[in-house]
Chain A
Amino acid sequence: MASEIPDNSVGLVKPLSHRFDSSITLQSGAKLPGFELVYETYGRLNEERNNAVLICHALSGHHHAAGYHTREDTKPGWWDNCIGPGKPIDTRHFYVLSLNNLGGCHGTTGPTSINPDTGEIYGPTFPTVTVKDWVQTQHMLAQTLGIDKFAAVIGGSLGGMQAMQWAIDYPDRVAHALLIACTPKLSAQNIAFNEIARFAISSDPEFYGGHYQTSGVNPERGLGLARMVGHVTYLSDDAMGARFGRELKSGDIALGQDVEFQVESYLHYQGETFSKLFDANTYILMTRALDYFDPAREFNDDLVRTLANAKAKFLVASFTSDWRFAPERSDTIVDALIAAGKDVISTTIESTFGHDSFLLPIPRYFGVIHAYMGRIARERDL
C-alpha cells in the first residue's frame, strides 16, 4: 500500500494500551492479577461524549480495525472498508474504539503473556474467558476513556454476541446494539466444528499440552488445520464453487499429487499464514468463549426474559448463505426482542459469501449499516 493512503482512510494509527493493576474476578471464578488491553481509536470524542462507538472483534480479530500502522503496511485494519471518513461507520461523526479482547494474542494480556504470580508464560493456564468477561473489561476500558455510554456497540459473529451481552449487562450504557451474523447460542454443529479445531491443535505433537512456547516450538500444523476447517465453515458451497470450481493447480489432472485442486492450495495457504500469526492457546480460548456463550442460560433458557432489561435499540442483520450462523438464528433474536417489546430493525442480506459476508463490502449490507449509523448521528446532531 504504502505512500498513498486513500482519502477515505482513517490514515496512520497507533495502537494504545491501558494497564489495569487491580485484579478482576472472571465469570469462571478465576482471578486475574491485573491485565493490559491494547486498543485503537479513530475519530474524536465530542464534548458531549455521546458519539462513541465500540467495535467488538470476532474469533481471530484484534484491535487494528482501520487505517495503517505504517506507510509500508500492505493491508489496512480488518474492517477498514467499513470504518473511516464517509464510510458506513463514519469517523467524521463517530469516535470509534476497537480493542483486542482479553485472552488475545495481539498485545492484550493472554496466554502468551507472563503470569506475574509465577513469572512464567501463562500458556494453557490462562483462565477461561467468556463473552461476559470481555464485555466487563471493555466497560472498564471505556471508563478510563471517559465514555459513559456508547452510541453504538457493533459486532459481527462473536463480536455480535458481545454487542448483545452489552445490551443485557449494561442496559444504560449502550444506545444501539448492532448484531451482525450473530446467534443467541451455538448449535451442536457449531460446537462440533470448534471441537475439531481444538482437537487438531492439541493433536499436534508440537502442542506439548499448550506449553509449546516454553518448549520453543509452535503447533503450526494443528493451528493451520484448525483454520482450514474454520475457513470452510465461513464460506458457502456456492462461494467456494464460484471462486475455485474444480480448477486444477497445474491445469491438468496428475493423479496422486499432494495438492491437486486450487481450493486445496488456497486452504493450505490460509492455514499456513494464519498459524504463523496467531497463538494456538488463544484460538482454543476464543472458540471456548463461542461455545459457552448462552446468555439465556441464566434466565431459565428464556431469551425474552434475558433481553427484558435491555434498553438499547437493535439492528440485527444476517446473510442468506451463512450456514454457520444462519438467518434463522438471527430471527430467534429478533422474535425475542419483539416479544420483549424492544425496538428492532432486522434485515436478511442476499449474499453468496457465507458467514464471511459480514466482513465484505456488500452494497446492500453496507447501505444498511450506513443508513442505521446515519440515523444514530442525526439523533445526536453529530
Chain B
Amino acid sequence: MREDLRIIANLIKRDARVLDLGCGSGDLLEHLAHAKNILGYGIENDTDEIAACIQRGINVVEHDLNEGLQRFPDKSFDMVIMTETLQAVDSPHQLLDEMLRIGEECIVTFPNFGYWGHRVRMLTSGNVPVSQPIPHRWFDTPNIRPCTFLDFEQLCEEKDLRVVQRLVFSSSYKTGSLMKRFPNLFGAIAFYRLGRAS
C-alpha cells in the first residue's frame, strides 16, 4: 500500500467528512472510504482524472481550485486535504485560509524546494532543480509557487495558522532521524496538519 495513504488515514477520524483538493484519480478518497468509512469528495479539474474517478465511483466535483472555495460553507468538513498541490495554485495563502474556513483541520503536503539535492544542483549546474517530486523543467512546470519548510512555517506564523503536526519524508514517504532534525535540508516532502488558531 502507498505509504502516504496509510499516514493520512491514521490522522482521519472514522466517518469523517473529507474534502480532497486536487484528488487526482481518487486513490486517497478510495483508501479513506475503506479504512475509515469517510464521506469524501474530491475537487479536480483534469478531465482524465475526473474520468478515472467516474469509473471508480469516487465523488468528484469538476472545479478549478484557482477559482476559490467560496461555494463551500464554513465548517462543512472535518478534514480538508491537499496533497502536493499547494505549490501549483495561484494563491496558496488564500487557499489555506479557505481550507481552514471550511474544514475543522487540514492536511497539506508539498515538495520541499529547500531539499539538499536541489540546493546542490542549483550550486553546481546552475539549473532550476528537476527531481522526482518536482519532475518538470522551469518553462512547463505546474509548480509555480515553490516553497520550503521554512517558507511555509513563516507563512503559518504570519497568518496565525496552528501547526498541529509536522512530518518530514523522503520522496518515497520514508522518514529518518537526520531529516527530522534538519527537515529543510533533508526532507523531500513536507507534511503539515493545520488547525485554526484558538
Query: Which residue numbers of A lie inside 8 Å of B, CB to CB?
Result: 313, 315, 331, 334-335, 338-339, 341, 343-348, 364, 367-368, 371-372, 374-375, 379
Contact = CB atoms under 8 A, between A and B. Distances in A.
B23 to A, nearest CB: 12
Contacts of B17: 341
Contacts of B110: none
Most B CB within 10 A of own CB, among A334, A347, A379:
A347
A53 to B, nearest CB: 17
A334 B39 contact: no
B56 to A, nearest CB: 8
A298 B57 CA distance: 31
Given A364-B47, A374-B55, A375-B57, A339 B76 contact: yes
Most B CB within 10 A of own CB, among A344, A346, A372:
A346
A344 B39 contact: no
Contact of B54 (A335, A345, A348): A345
Interface of B: 17, 39, 41, 47, 50-51, 53-62, 71-73, 76
Contact of B59 (A339, A344, A367, A375): A344
Contacts of B58: 345
A339 B50 contact: no
Contact of B41 (A338, A371, A379): A338
Contacts of A334: 61
B76 A341 contact: no
B3 to A, nearest CB: 28
Contact of B55 (A315, A364, A375): A375
Main SS of the interface on chain A? helix
B132 to A, nearest CB: 31
A334 B62 CA distance: 11
Contacts of B54: 315, 345, 347, 368, 371-372, 375
B17 to A, nearest CB: 7
Contact of B51 (A313, A338, A344, A368): A368
Contacts of A331: 71
Contact of A347 (B50, B55, B72): B50
A371 B47 contact: no
18 contacts: A331-B71, A334-B61, A338-B41, A338-B61, A338-B72, A341-B39, A344-B59, A345-B60, A346-B60, A347-B50, A347-B54, A348-B62, A364-B47, A368-B54, A371-B54, A375-B55, A375-B56, A379-B57
Given A338-B72, A371-B51, 7 more contacts: A315-B54, A339-B73, A339-B76, A341-B39, A343-B57, A347-B50, A379-B57
Contacts of A379: 57
B60 to A, nearest CB: 6
A70 to B, nearest CB: 37
A222 B72 CA distance: 45
Given A346-B62, A348-B62, A335 B72 contact: yes
B68 to A, nearest CB: 13
Nearest to A368: B54
A374 B54 CA distance: 9
A345 B59 contact: yes
A232 to B, nearest CB: 28
B71 A343 contact: no
B28 to A, nearest CB: 16
A339 B17 CA distance: 10
Contact of A343 (B51, B55, B59, B72): B59
Contacts of B71: 331, 335
Contacts of A367: 51
Contacts of B59: 343-345
A371 B47 CA distance: 13
B57 A347 contact: no
Nearest to A318: B62
Nearest to B53: A345
Nearest to B50: A347
Nearest to A346: B61
Contacts of A339: 73, 76
A31 B76 CA distance: 44
B112 to A, nearest CB: 33
Nearest to A347: B62
Contacts of A347: 50, 54, 62
A367 B48 CA distance: 11
A271 to B, nearest CB: 36
Nearest to B71: A335
B67 to A, nearest CB: 11
Nearest to A367: B51
A344 to B, nearest CB: 6
